[in-house]
Structure 1
Amino acid sequence: MRAKPDRPGPGQESVWDYPRPPALVTSDALVGIVLGGVTIASTRRSLRVLETSHPPTFYVPAVDFVDGVLVPVSGSTFCEWKGAASYFDLVTPDRTAPRAGWTYPTPTRGFEALVDHVAVMPSLVDRCVVDGEVVRPQAGGFYGGWITDSVAGPFKGEPGTHGW
Structure 2
Amino acid sequence: MPHPRRDSVAPGQESVWDYPRPPALRWCNQRIRVVLGGQTICDAPGAWQVLETSHPPTYYLPGTAFVEQAITPADGSSFCEWKGAARYFDLHGGGRTADRAAWTYPEPSPGFERIAEHIALYAHAVDACYVGDELVRPQPGRFYGGWITESVAGPFKGVPGSLGW
Aligned CA RMSD, in angstroms, stands at 0.8
The CA deviation at 1:16 is 0.4
The CA deviation at 1:93 is 4.2
Q: Which ranges in structure 2 are unaligned for 5 or more consecutive residues?
A: none
Q: Distance in 1 between matches of 2:114 and 2:34?
A: 21
User: Residue 71 of structure 1 aligns with which residue?
Assistant: 72
User: Residue 47 of structure 2 aligns with which residue?
Assistant: 46
User: Residue 59 of structure 2 aligns with which residue?
Assistant: 58
The 5 A counterparts of 1:6-155 are: 6-155=7-156
Q: Distance in 2 between matches of 1:74 and 1:98?
A: 10
TM-score, length-normalised on structure 2?
0.97
Preserved contact between residue 34 and residue 40 of structure 2 (Cα < 8 Å) = yes
TM-score, length-normalised on structure 1?
0.98
| Farther off after superposition, 67-76 or 56-65 | 67-76
Q: Distance in 2 between matches of 1:45 and 1:117?
A: 11
Q: Any idea what SS the aligned residue of 1:16 has?
A: helix
User: Residue 158 of structure 2 aligns with which residue?
Assistant: 157
The CA deviation at 1:44 is 1.8
Q: Distance in 1 between matches of 2:88 and 2:64?
A: 16
| Farther off after superposition, 88-97 or 106-115 | 88-97
Give structure 1 regions of 4+ aligned residues with deviation exceeding 2 angstroms: none
Q: Distance in 1 between matches of 2:46 and 2:152?
A: 20
Q: Deviations over 1:82-114 (max 9, x none)?
A: 000000000124100000010000000000001
The CA deviation at 1:63 is 0.2
The CA deviation at 1:157 is 0.3
Q: Distance in 1 between matches of 2:95 and 2:161?
A: 37
